Amino acid sequence: MTHQHPATAARGLQRSEALARAELLEVTSYDVTLDLASSEETFDSTTRLDFVSRGGRTFLDLKPRAVRSIRLNGRPVDVDLLQRGRVPLETVEGPNQLVVEAVMAFRNDGEGLHRSVDPADGRHYVYGMSFMDAAPSIFACFDQPDLKAPYTFHVRAPEDWVVVGNAPGTNPEPGVWELETSKPLSTYFVTLVAGPYHLVRDEHDGIPLGLSCRQSIAAELEADADELLTLTRQCFDELHRLFGIRYPFGDYHQAFVPEFNAGAMENPGCVTFRDPLVFTSKVTRGQRIQRASTVAHEMAHQWFGNITTPLWWDDLWLNESFAEYMGNRVTADVTEYDDAWVQDAYARRQWGLLADQRPSTHPVAGNGEDDATAALQNFDGISYAKGSSILKQLNATMGDEVFLAGVRDHLQGHFYGNATMHDLLASWTRAGAVDLGAFADNWLVTAGPDRIVLDRGAGRLLRTPPTGHPADRAHTLRVATRSPGDAGWQVDELVVDAAETSYDAPAGAAVLLDPFEDTWAVTEPDAVTTALLPGLVASTGDPLLRAGMWNSVRSAYHHARVAPEAVLDLLEAWLPAEDQDAALQYTLGWVLAKVVPLAADPGTAAARVHTASLAAAQAAEPGSTLQLAAYQAAVSSCAATDLLEGWLMGRDLPAGVELDLALRWRVLVRLAVLGAVDRDDLDAHLEAEPTAVSRVEHTRAIASMPTAEAKAWAWERFTGETTAPNYELEAAGEGMWRAGQDELLAPYVARYFDELPRTAEVHSGWVLADVAEAFFPLTSLDDATLERARALIARPDLDSSLRRRVVDTTDELEHRLAVRRAFAGQ
């Protein structure tokens, strides 16, 4: 008999529960059989789970559509005991065997076993994302990171599908796949990639390599395969050299899969990536660097994360901070992208600094997160960018030899096991590091960044710790100074280790604090420096110094200490001289999103950006990626519908610009924002090229239209009245809230705060929080919106993931209001 179980929210695993279960159990093995061929909505899942128990009561994690049977040691378990994703079990001392036969649902939110249909050709594709709490929707398990075990998978699939997993597999007969037993894995690493995927095979240093993607983008993967495989080989060689431990997980397959929530997931043997990283339109060098560092990041995870896994989610920095640091380092050191740290400065620095200044800030390590589901929100700029920066500082302090010796000791001592921050600190101490206790106290377990600014009149630098998070941090950093008549910047190193540090700035000179990002701190230019920068930036040759300059300006702007018009003055002076396309892409994107809407006259501000961007596109080398980055901003800031319509028809384009799919949709989205394209036109463009990219951008364009029907259409996706895949949900929210459409959007401000709590009934996991952020009314710049947001945060019944995103977006709204108030009359 099959027992049906309605979808109910599973309870997040508490740390105390995980500790108790790990004390009771040792998992021996998983043997999982999946039938992916019998239905497009569900799949049969049979799990045989062998474990040793000290004897006593525990629980199994299971999130099925229905349960056929549960047997523990040969005896049936009442399936009706399943409640909120858990089945209570009474184990016996010694070996136990659990067999669960269930029917699971394919998902379309990027978690569990995600099934999608490629709009380009109608083919179906499946991949597994077991991260955090999604594994129980694929197979029955004890779902926590420290109960590792080997897995053996048996899969039945349609005969034209290929199946790849954590271990190498064979296809003994059509539609049947047998995967070898894997190395010991945490549940959240388990994956399966199945479908009519296009495969590319290779080998390096005895390691079988693979790439895969949807058939409709096979040509693009083939075009990029040499670059991707070259990066993989280079990274393997360098990581083997650095860690002194060979990659132990057999094959190394990199699967580019549709509608993936994260950038990538480090599943041993089978890393999954979001498939927009298979570039189907022309992209900038910065985007290629981002992809390269993502490849390196996931490869570093094979050691930090996969060989040695954090014991609990409060030490997720042992995964992400290390992978972030090593990914950037290896990319810069051994691949063609030796400017990876410049790209990182534009792409990641502010992400981390803003997260660290939010009310939701948390320590890098030992963040005290007791709920596994809530811990998902800590995969943020703190755990990635801040942690990476601190590891870079630590490496500079202790030296590479001691740093790497400690890492090797840590990995070797916890091979296929789990570890904590204290384990790693002990390894570094054995390798020769000193005073790590003070370092950990100040940098790893104390939240928030110090603020370092120049008090020019007093001749000193002021170091202010974050409010509510006292720390005594010593900062070793460089300071760049330059007077208007100087040929270049003078760079000096100094130590800021007190609340006040003497520093005599040259009279009338610009002073940039920590422009090379040697430390983790918020630095801001003083008024003299801000006024001088437009006259100096065009002759500033060092791209990393320019990146540090922009990050300093962005920090000051966030705190309403630099006016929107001053940012635009700097932009106009800088743009003609910038030669890094990542600099254009991230800076212009930030200006359009956060500066233009808060200017005294947003229309004039947008026109300034458009004029400067278009001039840069016209002046750039035709066909260059620098031209592409400038032209993208010119489109997104354009207010002339006749010019946009001409571009769409191929007229008056800057020489060298080719309007490919991505650029066409950028023009169409901009026309939609301006109300210069109708739904029939958008539908016709989608029908002409029904790709995954087109589907997402079509959604964004419809939601952007200045009509009541368009906003209602987008809102149906927020409430779940109309279902949509994850990328389309996010695009609907981003398109809906457009500056200048305030009258149309006014009714939805109150509705957002009233209806958001109920979205937990229709969205879950990653998507739940992403939708909350995408649909937040950030364009509603008034105090009434702020008060509604604060009232929502105060609700005790608000889902923890929703609360975290609303806290962060409310903080962003507060800062935008502060900028508006500070510079309203300018």
Question: Hey, where are the domains in the chain?
Answer: 3-196, 227-249+276-437, 706-826
Note the Cα 430 to chain centre separation in Å: 34
Residue with tokens 């054995």: 430
Residue with tokens 């791209």: 543
Sorted by sequence, the CB contacts under 8 Å of residue 300 that are 6+ apart come out as: 235, 239, 322, 323, 326, 327, 330
Distance, C-alpha 814 to centroid of its chain = 24
Q: How far apart are the first and last CA of the chain?
A: 73
Burial track 196-226 (b if 16+ CB lie within 10 A, e otherwise): bbbebebeeeebebbbbbbbbbbebbeebee
Q: How far apart are CA 432 and CA 429, in angstroms?
A: 5
Torsion angle of the four alpha carbons 563, 567, 568, 574, in this order, in degrees rounded to the nearest 10: 160
For residues 715 and 771, give the distance between their C-alpha atoms in angstroms, rounded to a whole number.
11
Alpha-helix residue ranges (DSSP H) falling in 689-741: 692-704, 708-719, 726-736
Task: Tell me how far apart the alpha carbons of residues 510 and 535 are, in angstroms, rounded to a whole number.
Answer: 10
Query: Would strands 56-61 and 3-4 be described as parallel, antiparallel, or unpaired?
Result: unpaired
Q: Within 13 A of 682's CA, how many CA atoms are on the CB side?
A: 27
How far is residue 674's CA from residue 203's CA, in Å, rounded to a whole number?
Answer: 51
Give the helix/strand (H/E) hosting 629: helix 625-636
Number of CB atoms found within 10 A of residue 394's CB: 19
Size (the chain), residues: 826
Sign for the CA dihedral angle at 433, 439, 443, 449 comes to: negative
Nearest to 64 by CA among 130, 144, 138: 138
- Write down the architecture of domain 3-196 according to CATH: Sandwich (2.60)
Catalytically annotated residue among 238, 298, 728, 734: 298
Is the distance from CB of 557 to CB of 541 less than 8 angstroms? Answer: no
Strand partners, 127: 114, 193
Please check whether residue 480 is in contact with residue 523, taking contact to mean a CB–CB distance below 8 angstroms. no
Is the CA virtual torsion 808, 320, 799, 696 positive or negative?
A: positive
Q: How far apart are CA 270 and CA 250, in angstroms?
A: 10
DSSP 371: B
Nearest Cα to 573, choosing from 617, 607, 533? 533
What are the residues whose beta carbons fall under 8 Å from the beta carbon of 243, sequence distance 6 or more? Answer: 303, 404, 407, 408, 411
CA nearest to 735, candidates 750, 725, 747, 745: 745
Q: For 136-172, b where at least 16 C-beta lie within 10 A, e where not — what string?
A: bbbbbbbbbbbbbbbbbbebbbeeebbbbbbbbbeee
List % helix, strand, coil for the chain (3-state, nearest 5).
Answer: 45, 20, 35
Whole-angstrom Cα Rg for the chain: 27
* Residue 371, pLDDT score: 79
What does the alpha-carbon distance between residue 643 and residue 47 come to, in Å, rounded to a whole number?
60
Strands 124-129 and 192-195, sheet pairing? antiparallel
Give Cα 637 distance to the centre of its chain. 26
User: Other C-beta atoms within 10 Å of 246: how many?
Assistant: 11
pLDDT in the model for residue 374: 73
Closest C-alpha to 383, from 295, 280, 304: 304
Q: What angle do CA 108, 200, 290 make, to 5 degrees?
A: 65
- Please check whether residue 715 is in contact with residue 735, taking contact to mean a CB–CB distance below 8 angstroms: no
Helix (H, G, I), strand (E, B) or coil at 508: coil
Q: For residue 251, give both structure tokens.
A: 């094959």
Backbone region of residue 127 per phi and psi (left: phi > 0; alpha: psi in -120 to 50; beta: other values): beta
Sheet holding 207-213, edge to edge: 198-204, 207-213, 252-257, 270-274, 264-265
Let me know: does 692 contact 120? Beta carbons within 8 Å. Answer: yes
Task: Specify the pLDDT at position 7.
Answer: 37
Q: At what angle do helices 783-793 and 800-823 cross, to 10 degrees?
A: 160
Mean pLDDT, consecutive 10-residue stretches, the chain (826 aa), reads 38 90 98 97 98 98 98 98 97 98 96 97 98 95 98 98 98 98 98 98 98 98 98 98 98 98 96 98 97 98 96 90 97 98 97 97 81 79 96 96 98 97 96 94 96 97 95 96 94 97 95 98 98 97 98 98 98 98 98 97 98 98 98 98 97 96 98 98 97 97 98 98 95 97 97 97 91 97 97 95 96 97 82
Q: What ranges make up the beta strands (E) of 80-150? A: 86-91, 94-105, 112-117, 124-129
Q: Is the dihedral of CA 91, 97, 101, 103 positive or negative?
A: positive
Backbone angles phi, psi at 279, to 5 degrees: -75, 120
d(CA 158, CA 175): 5
Cα 795 from Cα 797, distance rounded (Å):
6
CATH number for the domain formed by residue range(s) 227-249+276-437: 1.10.390.10
41 given a catalytic annotation: no
Pair 427, 410: CB distance under 8 Å = yes
Residue 377 has a pLDDT of 78
Amino acid 299: pLDDT: 98
Q: Compute CA distances 6 → 13, 39, 766, whole Å.
A: 20, 19, 21
At residue 4, the pLDDT reads 33
Task: For residue 719, give the amino acid letter.
Answer: T
pLDDT at 3 (0 to 100): 33
